A = this chain, B = another copy of it.
Amino acid sequence: MKSFKKMLVDKGISPSMQRIKILEYLSKNRIHPTADDVYRALVKEIPTLSKTTVYNTLKAFTNKGILTALSVFENEVRYEYEQQPHIHFKCLKCGRIYDINEKYDYLNDKYIAGHKVIEHHVNLKGICKNCLEKEKEDE
């Protein structure tokens, strides 16, 4: 597998230490983190890290197609490394966001009602398996 440095160079982004660390974090932590999550995780290693750098870098990566930005509700953008389109499920109880890998008929790069579709997001909300089990135990 390609190194993160090489991946950035291939996309025409100069591979600064901050950028490599941010990409590495997104790659290894598939938890759909917010910009603030990324900042809080990395500032431990890089004490001089600036939040502006995190915001700028995440936005730049997204524009280059390295990351995907999503808003599964709420007023904050979340990012993920995964590229394959997939469904997101947000638990209303514990707040976790799950990736769902069931088959799904996607519409990317097609037309619908005359509009050209470029991105396709399916966001579900409900009670996750874990929380359902906990509910049962409490009875």
Contact = CB atoms under 8 A, between A and B. Distances in A.
Interface of A: 69, 71, 73-77, 87, 89, 91-92, 98, 100-102, 105, 107, 112-129, 132
B102 A129 contact: no
Given A112-B100, A113-B102, A121 B124 contact: yes
Chain copies in the assembled complex: 2
Nearest to A87: B112
Specify the main secondary structure of chain A where it touches its partner.
strand
A126 B122 contact: no
B125 A113 contact: no
A98 B124 contact: no
Contacts of A112: 87, 89, 100, 102, 124
A36 to B, nearest CB: 13
B115 A124 contact: yes
